[in-house]
Amino acid sequence: MRNLFFFSFFIFLSCGTQKIADYKQDSVVIDSTLGDGGLDEMIQPYRESMVEEMSEVIGVATKDLIKYNPESPLSNFTAEAAFLAGIDYSKSNADLSGLSAENTFAMLNFGGLRAPIHQGDITVGEIFELMPFDNTLVIVKISGDKVRMLARYIFDKLGQPVYNANFLLTPDIETMKIGGVEYNFDKELYVITTDYLSSGGDNMTFFNEPLGIWDTGILLRDVFIQYVKEKKELGGFELTGKIQINN
C-alpha cells in the first residue's frame, strides 16, 4: 500500500499537471433538516435589536389601508406623504424655489406598494413591509409633452398613486388639473417620485432626460414613517375620483 502510494506520487509528478476529467453537481436546498450550524449566538443580538426596532408602534390606523386601481386609500396615503415631504425638501434647496403646489404633483408606482396597512397599531415593521426597498424621494422637472406621456401611462396602467393632480382620461384625450386648476400640458411641471421611477423603472420613460432632477437622498420608507409619527392617527384617505379612466 505504501509502495503504491509512492508509485502514484511518482506518476503524478512525472505526468505533469492534472486536468479536469469530469464534474458532478450536487446542489442542496437549504431547509430545516440540515441542523444547527451554531450561528445563533452570533445572530441573536442583531435579531433582538432588529425585532425591537421593527415592533416600535409609531401610530394607529383607524381602518385598513389597502390598494386598488385607479385610486385607493393606500395610494392616497403614500402619495400624499411623498408630496408633503417633497414640498418640504424644496424649501431647503434654492434650486427648487420655483416649486409650488401650483406646478407640482406626486406620483409613485402601484407595484411598489408591497403590503397594506392594517387597522390598529402601526409598527415600523409594517412600514418596512409596505416599502422594503431603499428608494429615495426624487423631484423631477419635465416638459408638458412628457406630462402628457405620463397621463397616457396612467391610462394604460389603469391608475397610479398620485397627489395634487386630477386626471380624466379617455383613449384619445387627457384632461388634467394641478392643485384643482386646469392644466393644458403647456407648462413645465415638477413631479415628486422615487429614484427607481425617475431612472426609468417600471418603464416610466417620460422621466428620461428630464429638465431637472433632484435626489433628496431621503428614503421613501422614512417619509412614510415620519408621516405616521406626525399624524399619529391614519384614517380617511377617502376616494376623491382624482383618476377617472373612461375606456
Partner 1 sequence: MDRRRFVRTFATGSLALASLPSFASGKENKITILHTNDTHSHIDPFPLDDKKYPGQGGVNRRKALIDRIRKEEDHVLLLDAGDIFQGTPYFNMHHGELEFKVMTAMGYDAATMGNHDFDAGIEGFEKMLPHANFPFLCANYDFKDTILKDKTLAFKVFNKGGMKIGVFGVGVELNGLVSKELYKETNYLDPIEKANYYANHLKNEEKCDLVICLSHLGYVPRHNKMCDPVLAENTENIHLIIGGHSHTFLDEPQMYKNKAGKQVLINQVGWAGLILGRIDFYFNTNGDPDLWASNVINTNYNIG
Residue numbers of the site for partner 1 (CB under 8 A)?
5, 8, 11-12, 15-40, 42-43, 46-47, 49-50, 53-54, 125, 128, 132, 134, 136, 195, 199-200, 215, 217
Least distance CB 53 / partner 1 (angstroms): 6
- The cell numbers describing 119, all together, are 387597522
Identity of the amino acid at 174: E
Least distance CB 221 / partner 1 (angstroms): 8
- The cell numbers describing 67, all together, are 390598494
Least distance CB 96 / partner 1 (angstroms): 18
* Partner residues linked to 193 by β-bridges: 138
- The cell numbers describing 200, all together, are 426609468
Whole-angstrom distance, CA of residue 194 vs CA of residue 191:
10
Please say which residue, 21 or 94, places its beta carbon nearer to partner 1: 21
Please say which residue, 166 or 198, places its beta carbon nearer to partner 1: 198
Least distance CB 56 / partner 1 (angstroms): 12
- The cell numbers describing 50, all together, are 432588529
Please say which residue, 55 or 62, places its beta carbon nearer to partner 1: 55
Please say which residue, 44 or 100, places its beta carbon nearer to partner 1: 44
Please say which residue, 36 or 172, places its beta carbon nearer to partner 1: 36
Question: Mind giving me the DSSP string for 118-159?
Answer: PSEEEEHHHHHHH--S-PEEEEEEE-HHHHHHHHHHHHHHT-
Least distance CB 87 / partner 1 (angstroms): 22
Chain-centre distance of CA 48, in angstroms? 26
Whole-angstrom distance, CA of residue 207 vs CA of residue 212:
10
